């Protein structure tokens, strides 16, 4: 069954790089791009339930928006790309993952595989670095 991946990233180029890496990992995936948390909230309150959320927010920020409570469903996986180091234990306790920027496409693919372990990983890529420069 095709996966639905939500990518929240305010930088358009990084967002597109992340989407490309997702599509290279899972060619049949549906990718939803959001620029900010209110857009994520709109997607989730419309009844859509992505398999994975890749979010550039800290845990504190997610709590402030009320998003942390919305995504605590055990089947929804979360990958934070702006988590605070102090929150590492709590992020892990929630079953979420974090990835520090800057990161490379290979690290994103590894994180995707860790979050949703059943994918067919593809090795080739045209995107080498995300969040650099």
- DSSP for 91-125, please give it: HHHTT-EE-PSSEEHHHHHHHHHHHS---------
Q: To the nearest whole number, what is the mean pLDDT of the chain?
A: 83
Q: Cis ω on the peptide bond leading into residue 102 (within 30° of 0)? A: yes
34 compared with 90, residue with greater pLDDT = 34
> Which range is most confident: 27-41, 47-61, 67-81?
27-41
Q: What's the pTM value of the predicted model, to 2 decimals?
A: 0.82
Domains parsed from the chain with CATH numbers? 4-130 (3.40.50.2300)
pLDDT at residue 121, rounded to an integer:
46
pLDDT in the model for residue 119 = 42
pLDDT at residue 131 greater than cutoff 70: no
């Amino acid at each position: 069954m095709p996966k639905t991946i939500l990518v929240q990233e305010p930088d358009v180029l990084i967002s597109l790089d992340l989407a490309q890496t997702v599509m290279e990992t899972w060619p049949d995936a549906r990718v939803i791009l959001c620029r900010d948390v209110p857009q994520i909230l709109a997607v989730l309150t419309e009844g859509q339930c992505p398999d994975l959320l890749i979010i550039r927010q800290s845990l504190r920020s997610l709590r402030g928006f009320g998003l942390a409570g919305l995504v605590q469903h055990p089947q929804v996986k979360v990958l934070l790309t702006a988590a605070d180091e102090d929150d590492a234990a709590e992020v892990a306790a929630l079953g979420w993952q974090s990835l520090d920027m800057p990161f490379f496409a290979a690290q994103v693919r590894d994180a995707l595989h860790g979050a949703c372990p059943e994918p067919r990983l593809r090795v080739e890529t045209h995107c080498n670095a995300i969040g650099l420069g």
